[in-house]
Each structure stands twice: as structure tokens, then as C-alpha cells.
Amino acid sequence: MIVDILSLFPGYFKGPFNESILKRAQEKGLLTIRLTDIRDFADNRFHRVDDRPYGGGPGMVMMPQPVTMAIQHVKTPEAKVIYLSPQGRTLNAVKCRKLALEKHLILLCGHYEGIDQRVLDEEVDEEISIGDYVLTNGCLAAIVLLDAFSRFIPGVLGHPSAAAEDSFEGGLLDYPHYTRPEVFQGCSVPNVLLSGNHQEIAKWRHEQALKKTQEIRPDLLA
């Protein structure tokens, strides 16, 4: 998959994408991440990309010209353009699975009070929110989105079934996990996990996942 990220701060992304799973995914050729500075497409000598909003109000709005030019510079016929926005549909695991099937994604990061609506109407395919809160810019949201859907790209995770057993898969939160030592500060690993009975272990894990979901996220069960 190719992912183009358009923002005013391309340096923002270099740390998260150069570590751990996302770094290995790029080294394996499973994921190509390209960073574009929207300021490079400003049509003025000062590389200005924002202006006061029509109708008044606080803050600044990103102008349509540089944003549109940046999108069109990287856009391909198979590209899907996503705007990271608090006004978008809330991200979930089902959406992540769908995005992982795309060949080319363009992630547009908002800044200031937002982007001129004409860009969203003409160039953006979908708006996605990572939660009911507002960030100082869309860069962090783009990182969260990319990290979330990349886990469903075949080969990115070490074990092929790892993503399928995480929280929200099957409508439940994850079950508790344990590892060595068997006893730690007086607390023991549940006996069923030491039994070797895979049927009983699967039953226990499902019961624990159901209990956790009922306590924390009953809306998932509804």
C-alpha cells in the first residue's frame, strides 16, 4: 500500500514511522509512506497557506489553492482521499479492515480552524474522526489512523491471526493475558491457562472477554 500524508509539518511523522512495526512494514515493502508539505504548493512568495474566515470568527482557515494542488500532485486514479477531522465518522475496527484493502490512501491533515469547504467538497472522499475530541492539528490523527489499519495488511504483524484476536474483533474487548513467572508478588496465573486444555482455555478467554465488555463497553454488546 502507498500512503501519502499531506500536512504543514512533515517532520512530525518521522519518529513514529521509523520505529517498531511500521518501520519493519516499510522495510519489507508492505507499506510505502510519503510525506508532503502543503506549503510547497502555495502560490505566494511567503508560502502562506491560511487566511481569515469569511463571516468572521476566531482563528485562520487553510486556503483552497495550496491544499488542492498538494492533493492533485500525489493523486492517482485508485487513490482514496481521507480528511482527518472531528466532523468525520468515528474510526473503528471495521473501517480499519476496509482501509487495509486500499492500494493508495491520501491522508489530509487539517490545521488551524480547518480547511476551506470547497476542497472537501471537490477533492475529499471521506472524513474520519479518531474520537470525540479536538487536537491541535490532524497529524497525530493521521498517525493513529495509519497505525490502526496497517495492522490488517497481510504480513505487517508477526502472526497472521494476531489482529483477529484483539479488542473489538467479534464485538468484544480483549481477554486478560499472562506470561512468566507463574507467581508474581503473590498473584498466580489462572489455573485454566496452565491446564493444557485448549477447549477450556478458549471458553475461559471468551467468558473473560464478555465480562470485560459488559463492565466497560456494554454499548458493544447492544
Residues known to be catalytic: 86, 113, 151, 166
At 112, the amino acid letter reads Y
Can you tell me the distance from the alpha carbon of 59 to that of 66, in angstroms, rounded to the nearest whole number? 18
Instruction: For CA atoms 105, 109, 114, 118, give the dihedral sign.
Output: negative
What b/e readout covers 75-112, taking b as 16+ CB neighbours within 10 angstroms?
Answer: eeeebbbbbbbbebeebebebbbebbebebbbbbbbbb
Specify the 3-state DSSP secondary structure of 85. strand
Please state, in angstroms and rounded to a whole number, the distance separating the CA atoms of residues 73 and 40.
11
Q: Which residue has the cell 508478588?
A: 185
Q: In terms of Cα–Cα distance, which of 116, 85, 72, 80 is closest to 100?
A: 80
Q: What's the number of CA atoms in the CB half-sphere (13 Å) around residue 186?
A: 0
Query: How many whole angstroms from its chain centre is CA 60?
Result: 26
> Any idea which residue has 482455555 for its cell?
201
